[in-house]
Amino acid sequence: MLRVVIAEDDFRVAEVHEKFLAKINGVELLAKAKDCSETLSAVRKHQPDLVLLDNYMPDGLGIELIDELRKDSPDTDVILVSAANEREYIETALRKGVKGIILKPAQLAQFTSTIEKYRKDKERLSQQDTVDQTYLDELFGVTAVKKEAPVVKGIDPLTMQKVQKLLLNYKEGITAEKMGEEMGASRTTARRYLEYLVSTGDCYAELGYGIVGRPERQYFVK
């Protein structure tokens, strides 16, 4: 279960957020707090997984409460739910390591998707002893950078694309001579491209025999 405390001074808004949480499976609401003092007390008592924290409360700012919350409950995470949208507020929130920011008035779809993402990330990380870059890119929403093909002397990228497409049409294999005919180049040029693809693991070669009985390398796409 994901154990949650709602910190919200407006009881009507707190009730709305409680109803939103009720629509998410596997979530347990531990307490509702109407100010910073009650929030600290609830966190000390329950040690929740997550606090849905308003910023503007009668006795202080939620964002200034985060460090104190973590002293009392180091494993408790925070998602801010507030009308505050100033750049300085967002920057401070990110530096303090909040797990999400929902602007009021919270909409059900945005609210639930933020909570679900938090829970998914928490569960996935708990199952990992070590992580790779792909996992971290997904966690932080980074689009993986596609590696550019290395520049190799004598290998033209556009010609290489043509060779690769032709290979797909010859699943039964093709010789360097035939490839040269298809691409409008010499046998030597075709062999250079084909052997490069063998070196990169994109195709493989087997020894066959031509019509006059001499051995020829046949190239196959992987």
Domain at 157-221: CATH code: 1.10.10.10
pTM above 0.75? no
Q: Is the pLDDT of residue 144 over 70?
A: no
Q: How far apart, in whole angstroms, are the C-alpha atoms of residue 77 and residue 4? A: 10
Give Cα separations from 73 to 33, 44, 67, 125 (angstroms): 16, 7, 10, 19
The pLDDT value given to residue 153 = 77
77-129 pLDDT tens trace? 999 999 999 999 999 999 999 999 999 999 999 999 999 999 999 998 988 88
pLDDT grade, residue 132 (50/70/90)?
Answer: confident
Q: Which CATH class is domain 2-130?
A: alpha beta
The average confidence (pLDDT) of the chain is: 91
Residue 167 pLDDT level (bands cut at 50, 70, 90) = very high
Q: Do domains 2-130 and 157-221 have the same CATH topology?
A: no
**Cβ neighbours of 100 (radius 10 Å):** 20
Could you tell me the two tokens for 157?
């990228």
The reported pLDDT for the residue numbered 176 is 93
Flag whether pLDDT at 150 surpasses 60: no
Instruction: Please report the pLDDT score of residue 222 as a whole number.
Output: 81
Q: Partners of 137 in the beta sheet?
A: none
What share of the chain in percent tops pLDDT 90?
73
Residue spans of the domains in the chain: they are 2-130, 157-221
